[in-house]
Copies of this chain bind each other. A is one copy, B any other.
Amino acid sequence: MTLDAAIAAVLVDWGTSRLRLWAIGTDGATIDAIRSAEGMGATEPRAFEGILEHHLAELGARADVPVIMCGMVGSRQGWQEAPYVAVPARLDTIIARAVRVTGTPRDVRILPGIADRSADAPDVMRSEETQLLGLSRLAGPTADGLVCMPGTHAKWVLLDDGARTVAAFATALTGDLFAALSTASVLRHSIADGAGTDGDAFDAAVAASLAEPATTLMRLFAIRSRGLLAGQDAAHALGTLSGTIIGHDIAGALARFGRPSRLTLVGGGTLGTLYERALRVAGIAATPIDGEELACEGLLAAARQIWPDRLPAAPAAAMAH
């Protein structure tokens, strides 16, 4: 347990399948952090407060320490709805539109998501807007332009106004589609856990999806045929499956938002590495940056603005923007 006097605020990213908390000191530095699998997707509405208070006690945060949250916890199915801000959305607006949770003695606030309510391209995000806020504060105007946020539901975001505004965005079913095909289609026979990913097969598949996105369904079935006819190994099959889908995702973003020469890639790990490689095949340089760090930075920016007495202004470097 930490000395509670040191905690200025607690930052919380509460998504569908996971919960992360950061205890922040008055200097803005992280004192302690907690990760939990208590995602809001499996949480009853009346259980939110108890789970949060349990972890706050673990961190040693007294009853007067305020909490700022982002993520699906603010959806209609979450703790309390924080209604979407519409695009184009200034990132500062999500701070101004934070919702105070009612019925709790503690000061708990939830940042809203962003929505595109147009009839032909309706779309929503929750938590990515907070990462983008963090990106805007950390990277400043250099983050202007296209941002790629890979995942189960990959987000492609166009920042403008010196990376202060979400001009437009689109979500692709990328990771979800990959998982569905890997587990519930005939292609499950072609891949194997732990077989690795053949890099050449991946690159060739990315290039094919970029060159001819229309034939994706045929190139997916060819993974099966290649196994039957040529005894293709599982690493080749996985590289082709992965490259076909990621390449198709990138082709969609270029069709929707135009082709940049470089973009910001939010996300580390294997998926980030695969996207960086795929973007290179597309002739696009990617600047990778960790998403969790961005979420923490975005929540911190919100906390500073909402509770300036508890968290004095950020140091000059972070305020430059």
Task: Mark each residue of chain A from 133 to 176: 1 if its CB lies under 8 Å from any CB of chain B, else 0.
Answer: 00000000000000000001110100000000000001111101
CB-nearest residue of chain B relative to A245?
B217
Q: Is the CB of B184 within 8 A of A179?
A: yes
Interface of A is mostly: helix
A229 on the B face (CB < 8 A): yes
In Å, the complex CA distance between A212 and B214 comes to: 8
Q: A186-B153, A229-B117 are in contact. Are A173 and B255 (CB under 8 A)?
A: no
Give Cα A179–Cα B184 distance, bound, in whole angstroms: 8
For A181, list chain B residues within 8 Å (CB).
173, 177, 180
How many chain copies does the complex carry?
Answer: 2
Indicate if the CB atoms of B172 and A221 lie closer than 8 Å.
yes
Q: Which range holds the interface residue count of chain A?
A: 35 or more
The answer, yes or no, to whether A183 is at the interface (CB within 8 Å) is yes
Given contacts A214-B251, A216-B248, contact A184 B180 (CB under 8 A): yes
The 8 A CB mask of A110-149 against B (1 = contact, 0 = none) is 0000011100011110000000000000000000000000
Contact B172 A218 (CB under 8 A): yes
8 other A-B residue contacts (CB within 8 Å) besides A173-B218, A184-B184: A122-B225, A154-B217, A170-B221, A174-B217, A176-B186, A180-B181, A180-B184, A217-B252
A residues neighboring B (CB under 8 Å): 84, 115-117, 121-124, 152-154, 156, 170-174, 176-177, 179-181, 183-187, 212-218, 220-222, 225-226, 228-230, 245, 248-249, 251-252, 254-256
